[in-house]
Amino acid sequence: MTIKFKINGRTIDPTNVDMEMPLLWFLRETQKLKGTKFGCGIGQCGACTVHIDGEAVRSCTIPLASLNGKDIRTIEGLAKSDNDLHPVQQAWIEIDTPQCGYCQSGQIMAAAALLAKNKNPTDEEIDKSMTNICRCASYTRIRKAVHQAAKFYEA
């Protein structure tokens, strides 16, 4: 079986890789993209959230075999450049959202996917769409940062 997909704009043609392997481990172990985090391995916590064709997806449950032709974006590929961060990243900095920081890549990817569809979400819409777990409970700042990011989008 040969497949091809894109990660952060780069075409990947995985060879000698177990096609059952979830995307999470391919990103972390094979591609050395460590920003996408392992939290539970069964799609419950959202620490491994990436974008596949623009949708927020929990990469720990997506086998490589299902990715042919897909366009994958990870936290490392969210910003245009190191000096031109994505509005959600800028907002996360502005609000100083993270505590331990472990879940935040996933939170940011979830927020970016939400804002791509809904430019100005209400608190209820944010709560409904973002179900990633933060054990530090940085939730009030996460909500604020999403609103802040919406403002950055407008600007």
Partner 1 sequence: MQRSTISRRHFLKSSFLSGAWVLSLNLPMAAQAKTKQPSTTGWSLYVRVHKNNQVTMESPVMEMGQFMRTTGPMMFAEEMDLDWQSITFIRDTRLHLKRDDEGKIDFRYVKANTGGSHSVRWTWEYLRKAGAAARQMLIQEASEKLGVPIEELSTTRNTVVHSKTGRTITYGDLAEGASQRQINESQITLKNKNAFSIIGTDKRNIDLKDIVTGKPLFGIDAEYPNCKQAVIARAPAIGAQIASYDKKAALAVPGVQQVVEMSSQEETHWFNGNVQILAAGIAVVADNLWAAMKGKAALNATWKNTHDAAKENSEERIKKFYDLVTDDSPAERSKDVGNVDEAFSNADFTVERIYEKPLHAHALMEPFNCIADIRDDSATIITGHQNPKAIAEEAEKYAGIDALKVEVISKRMGGGFGRRYERDFVREAILLSKKIAQPVKVTWMREDEIERGMHDPACVARVKAGVKDGKITSWFYRQAQTKAGIQDSCFPEGLFENFRVERCSNETFIPAGPWRGPQHPAWAFANESMIDEIAYKLDKDPLEFRLDLLLPARELPYTNWGATIKDSGRMAICFQEAAKMADWKRKRPKGRGIGIAGHVCHGSYAAFVIEVSVIDERLQLHEAWGAIDCGLAINPNHIRSQMEGGFIDGLNAALFNKVKVEDGKVTNNQFGLLRMGKLEDAPIEVHTTIISNDHEPTGVGEPPTAPAAAALANAIFAASGKRLYRQPFAESFQV
* Binding segment (CB under 8 A) for partner 1, from list 65-73, 113-121, 134-142, 147-155: 134-142
Q: Does 5 bind partner 1 (CB under 8 A)?
A: no
* Binding segment (CB under 8 A) for partner 1, from list 51-59, 113-121, 132-140, 147-155: 132-140
Contacts with partner 1 by CB under 8 A: the residue count is 57
Q: Does 149 bind partner 1 (CB under 8 A)?
A: no
* Binding segment (CB under 8 A) for partner 1, from list 51-59, 65-73, 112-120, 140-148: 140-148
Q: Does 55 bind partner 1 (CB under 8 A)?
A: no
Indicate which single residue of 3, 6, 34, 147 sits in contact with partner 1 (rule: CB under 8 A).
34
Compute the distance between CA of residue 53 and CA of residue 72 in angstroms, rounded to an integer.
Answer: 6
Least distance between partner 1 and beta carbon 123 (Å): 6
In angstroms, the Cα distances linking 107 to 2, 16, 46, 134 are 32, 32, 7, 9
Give the residue ranges of DSSP H helices in 3-138: 23-25, 87-95, 104-117, 123-129
Q: Which two tokens stand for residue 44?
A: 């419950």
CA geometry: angle 108, 75, 61, nearest 5 deg:
85
DSSP structure string for 81-116 = BTTB--HHHHHHHHHT--SS-TTHHHHHHHHHHHHH
DSSP state of 142: H
Which residue type does 110 have? A
Least distance between partner 1 and beta carbon 50 (Å): 10
User: Contact positions toward partner 1, by CB under 8 A?
Assistant: 18, 21, 25, 28-29, 32-42, 44-45, 47, 74-76, 78-79, 82, 85, 89, 92-93, 96, 98-105, 108, 123, 126-128, 130-143
